[in-house]
Amino acid sequence: MGARKKISADNRKEALKTQYFAKLTGVPTSPRKMRLVADMVRGMEVFRALGVLKFSSKEASNRMEKLLRSAIANWEQKNDRKAESGELYISQVFVDSATMLKRLRPAPQGRGYRIRKRSNHVTLFVDTMENKNTNA
């Protein structure tokens, strides 16, 4: 690795130390379905978002709830204290497509229809409300 790339990689690592996030990779639901759930909670206070996810009827909301709990735990572990109500909010949520399993389904007259079993990666960032107010 060249010196310039190493410096930028080190800067990226330092920036990640001040951010609190959780990643979920290879989720076997389509990215479109997961984005619907991500859009429901984006920008919300975390405990309110947990309530919304808990009572949502979508299957992807269970995985998103578990990921949010993990992000809160990461914040608590880095700051050595418990998160209080109204303190944290979801700053960013990314849903990216992952590998696609490609299958063939037999169709009439000797043809085959393609089936694409999609999966996704979800990254969820949490931040404090104080940082939200200073950034605005």
Q: pTM for the whole thing?
A: 0.86
Domain 21-135 coded CATH 3.40.50.1360: no
The pLDDT assigned to 136 comes to: 58
In this predicted structure, the answer to whether residue 89 has a pLDDT above a threshold of 70 is: yes
Sheet containing 20-27: order of strands: 20-27, 120-128, 88-97
Rounded (10°) CA dihedral 14, 17, 20, 26: 70
Tell the burial category of 68 from Cβ atoms under 10 Å away from its Cβ (0-12, 13-18, 19+).
Answer: buried
Q: Hey, what are 122's tokens?
A: 């979800």
The shares of helix, strand and coil residues in the chain, as percent rounded to the nearest 5, are: 50, 30, 25
What's the pLDDT band for 31 if we cut at 50, 70, 90?
Answer: very high
More confident residue, 83 or 133: 83
More confident residue, 133 or 19: 19
Contacts with 134 (C-beta within 8 Å, 6 or more apart), sequence order: none
Domain range summary for the chain, segments of one domain joined by +: 21-135
What's the pLDDT band for 92 if we cut at 50, 70, 90?
Answer: very high
Query: Residue 122 in contact with residue 23, Cβ under 8 Å?
Result: yes
The pLDDT assigned to 118 comes to: 97
